[in-house]
């Protein structure tokens, strides 16, 4: 096959959490403006996806691949998965979908080595799950003779069983898991379902090597707003000693591990000399939490942190950007080297999760 026909790939198709379409759209438009792409968005409330239509850009007139390649997926907050595609859905014959898909791929000139089938994370979308599982092996067999390009992944998003958007993304600049959804099983002994948020955060923000080197048995952590102990449980499972800060009660079984010290005090006035990790999942205003976390780093009370920011009902993307600015301004005023990532994880709800890794010794 020839090089992709980028003039036809005029759309960035983005999956998001239902209800956060406006935030996803604002984020995409922010990057479009910053990278000097002329574009507009199509977003429907509670659909679980957003379309960014590019009408002009820095490389070619309508090149969604150029847009995607200008932005690292790890920067994105509300976007679970994305790919470049034509802006119009393809109509698939119910009894011969593969023929239309094969022809579309040929017309687009795209090559790939993997296939991801997706659908909206809504009740209607989830009804397509069984269909996609059954159709994927059949499609792979039909496309097994296509020219291979290991870095590329063919993406097909089904609106229903006969209408789909067909496009492409790069494996190293997209979600590592299908649809950006990390599937985790609720541990039977964990005190609350919030434990899944910290587990997902650790596997999302830290590579396997980082998990082995930055989270070691015997390290010490502080959990602000810990009760009943969902996040503390994750740390204890990794054999960390935890100081749990909360006026509420902690899970009795968790306390019996003798790995947890429970202090009934205010998280905003508590101080600590130094720990390896700070975690926090308090129901508090996001700017208050950001200032608190910034204080912990500037005073060098912690080396690394994972925390959640509960978002307002409106202007959530703007609220996150303000919190990022607060954190960066505080850290940039020191000699601390750090990395900062923000993501709305699958197990998050009206919130985002932040991870800061630093060089503090």
**Which of 124, 153, 180 represents a domain boundary (last residue)?**
180
For the chain, percent of residues with pLDDT exceeding 90: 89
Contacts of residue 124, defined as CB under 8 A and 6 or more positions apart, other chains included, come to: none
Last residue in a domain, options 148, 180, 212: 180
Task: Give how many domains the chain has, as a whole number.
Answer: 2
Is 148 in the same domain as 205? no
pLDDT in tens, 248-266: 999 999 999 999 999 999 9
CATH code, domain carrying 318: 3.40.50.150
Indicate which residue of 35, 42, 149, 310 is catalytic.
310
Instruction: Judge if 267 and 153 occupy the same domain.
Output: no
Same domain, 128 and 200: no
68: helix, coil or strand? helix
> 162 and 27 in one domain?
yes
- In-domain check, residue 231: yes
Q: Which of 151, 180, 209 is the last residue before a domain boundary?
A: 180
Are the beta carbons of 238 and 213 closer than 8 angstroms? no
User: Do 212 and 170 have their domain in common?
Assistant: no
Distance, in Å, from the CA atom of 122 to the CA atom of 277, rounded to the nearest integer, reads: 35
Residue 151: what pLDDT?
87
Note whether residue 323 is domain-resident: yes
The SS3 call for residue 241 is strand
- Whether 335 and 233 map to the same domain: the answer is yes
- Do residues 213 and 339 share a domain? yes
Can you give the pTM of this predicted structure? 0.93
Task: Identify whether 310 is a catalytic site residue.
Answer: yes
Co-location of 219 and 100 in the same domain: no
Q: Which of 56, 54, 64, 50 is nearest to 17 (CA)?
A: 50
Q: How confident is the model at residue 149 (pLDDT cuts 50, 70, 90)?
A: confident
3-state secondary structure 79-132: CCEEEEECCCCEECCCCCHHHHHHHHHHHHCCCCCEEEEECCCCHHHHCCHHHH
pLDDT in tens, 25-74: 999 999 999 999 999 999 999 999 999 999 975 554 568 999 999 999 99
- Answer yes or no: do 140 and 262 share one domain: no
Residue 81, domain extent: 11-180
For the domain that residue 24 is a member of, what is the CATH number? 3.30.70.2810
Domain match, 173 and 228 both: no
What percent of the chain lies above the pLDDT cut of 70? 96
- Tens-digit pLDDT profile for residues 313-348: 999 999 999 999 999 999 999 999 999 999 999 999
Give the integer Cα–Cα distance in Å for 111 and 122.
30
């Amino acid at each position: 096959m020839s090089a992709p026909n980028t003039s036809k790939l005029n759309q960035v198709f983005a999956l998001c959490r239902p209800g956060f379409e406006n935030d996803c759209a604002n984020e995409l438009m922010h990057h479009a403006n910053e990278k000097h792409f002329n574009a507009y968005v199509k977003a429907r409330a509670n659909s679980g996806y957003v379309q960014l239509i590019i009408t002009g850009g820095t490389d070619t007139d309508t090149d969604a691949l150029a847009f995607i390649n200008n932005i690292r997926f790890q920067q994105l907050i509300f976007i679970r998965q994305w790919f470049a595609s034509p802006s119009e859905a393809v109509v698939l014959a119910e009894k011969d979908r593969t023929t239309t898909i094969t022809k579309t791929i040929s017309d687009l000139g795209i090559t790939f080595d993997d296939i991801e089938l997706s659908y909206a994370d809504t009740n209607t979308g989830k009804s397509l799950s069984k269909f996609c599982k059954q159709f994927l092996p059949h499609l792979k067999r039909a496309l097994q003779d296509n020219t291979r390009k290991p870095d590329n992944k063919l993406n097909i998003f089904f609106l229903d069983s006969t209408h789909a958007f067909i496009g492409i993304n790069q494996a190293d600049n997209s979600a590592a898991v299908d649809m950006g959804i990390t599937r985790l099983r609720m541990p039977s002994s964990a005190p609350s379902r919030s434990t899944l948020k910290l587990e997902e955060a650790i596997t999302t923000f830290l590579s396997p090597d980082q998990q082995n080197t930055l989270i070691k048995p015997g390290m010490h952590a502080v959990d602000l707003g810990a009760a009943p102990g969902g996040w503390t449980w994750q740390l204890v499972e990794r054999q960390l000693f935890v100081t749990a800060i909360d006026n509420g009660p902690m899970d009795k079984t968790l306390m019996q591990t003798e790995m947890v010290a429970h202090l009934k005090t205010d998280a905003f006035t508590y101080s600590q000399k130094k720990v390896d990790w700070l975690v926090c999942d308090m129901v508090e205003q996001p700017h208050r939490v950001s200032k608190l976390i910034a204080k912990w780093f500037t005073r060098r009370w912690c080396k690394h942190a994972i925390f959640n920011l509960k978002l307002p009902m409106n202007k959530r993307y703007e609220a996150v950007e303000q919190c990022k600015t607060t954190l960066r301004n505080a850290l940039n005023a020191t000699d601390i080297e750090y990395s900062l990532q923000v993501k709305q994880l699958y197990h998050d709800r009206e919130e985002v999760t932040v991870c800061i890794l630093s060089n503090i010794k």
